Structure formats: structure tokens, C-alpha cells
Amino acid sequence: VHLQKKNSDKIWVAIPESPVKVGTQISFQPGMEMRNFESKSLKRTFDSVIFSGGVLGAPAATAASSDPKKEQGSSPGSKGAAAPKAEKISVTKATGSNAATVEGAHINSAKLDKKKVVIKGKVVKVSAGIMGKNWIHIQDGTGTQAKGTHNLVCTSSEMATVGDVITVSGTLAKDRDFGSGYRYDVIVENATFKK
């Protein structure tokens, strides 16, 4: 969803698909600005677009009552953007010679860099259509939030649903920097999913 700030032809905000009515006042999660952004789907180049994780709370009148954790500023690529380890998750490890756990992908990232991996995890966060990709966060119960090894981001043209347990197949990349604040110590790219 692309939204334009009232009385402005310069400030646009891109968020995951959300029901927003014309004229509604809303507040956004902090995001990163990209200048001269070309949207292939809209066949248009924007002078400036802010990529936000989504709408904060309800319309602006009730935004003050929204979850304060969602209001903390962090770039999408920072560890602060990882989905929190809110519930006890326990997922069995994927099988095969290139199988890894979420924590194992972080710990062995130098060895696994640019190699195909298979990781099974529970989808805990989805950010759709950012930079032409869907960004899927998975957790399997391994790793620690303090070290940021409990969460793994996967980019894909496919979509997943929060709560699903999926097996991810893709290429692991270490120290991946997309620019504009999108930097990851470990990420699985061009992922495909199997339930």
C-alpha cells in the first residue's frame, strides 16, 4: 500500500497491505527513506518513499494506546526489527545434508555463506512487498533474543502466514547490506516455502 501525506506531493509511505480509507488519519511505525525509488508495480518513480513496517494502532486518535514496543524506532534491517521471542516455540530441525537450525545458521554463517540451506521454523512476522520482496521472519526455539540468534529473516517472492510452521529452502548470505538501513548479519534469500 502506498500512501501520500496530506497536502504534499513529495512524501509517500509504503506499508504492507492494510485496509486504509481515504482521509483517515494514521500513524506509522518508523521506517527508512529511499530516494528516487522506482516502483515496478506502479510503473512510477517516487522522489522519496518511506518504507514502514505498517500502521501503529488504530486511527491517530487512538494511536497513543497502541503497543509502545511497536513505536520504538529501528531500521528494518536492525536486530530491533526482529520479531520478539514472545512465546515458547519448539520446532524440529529440518532434515538433509544442508539442514540447519535458526541459531545454527547464525553461528555457522561464515561456513554457510552463499550455500543452499534448509531451515524449518514458525512464521512470526511477515512484511510484504518491501523492495519487491516478501520478508518472512521465522523462529524454531533455538538461539537467544539477546544475541539476535533466535530469529531468521528470509526474502521470497512467495508468501507465508504468521503462525504457520514452514520449511524454508534458499541461499544463506552473511553480512548482507541492501542499503538504506537494510543490513542483516544473516539472511536467507530467494527462499521457497513448504508446509
Confidence of residue 46 (pLDDT cuts 50, 70, 90): confident
- The set of cell numbers assigned to 46 is 517516487
| The pLDDT of residue 174 is above 90 | yes
Sequence spans of domains, the chain: 2-73, 81-194
What is the per-residue pLDDT for 58? 35
Rounded CA-CA distance 143/135 in Å is: 20
| The pLDDT of residue 139 is above 60 | yes
What is the per-residue pLDDT for 16? 74
Are the beta carbons of 93 and 101 closer than 8 angstroms?
yes
Reduce the DSSP state of residue 93 to 3 states and report it: coil
For residue 116, the 8-state DSSP code is E
Q: What is the percent of the chain where pLDDT is above 70?
A: 76
What is the per-residue pLDDT for 26? 74
61-109 pLDDT, tens digit per residue, is 333 333 333 333 334 444 445 555 557 899 999 999 999 999 999 999 9
Rounded CA-CA distance 169/71 in Å is: 32
Rounded CA-CA distance 89/177 in Å is: 29
Q: Strand 99-100 to strand 55-56: parallel, antiparallel, or no bridges (unpaired)? A: unpaired
Distance separating the N- and C-terminal Cα atoms of the chain: 27
Residue 109 has phi, psi (to 5 degrees) of: -60, -35
Confidence of residue 10 (pLDDT cuts 50, 70, 90): low
CATH for 81-194 is: 2.40.50.140
| The pLDDT of residue 60 is above 60 | no
Of 3-7, 8-12, 87-91, the range with the lowest mean pLDDT is 3-7
Of 34-38, 134-138, 144-148, 165-169, the range with the lowest mean pLDDT is 34-38
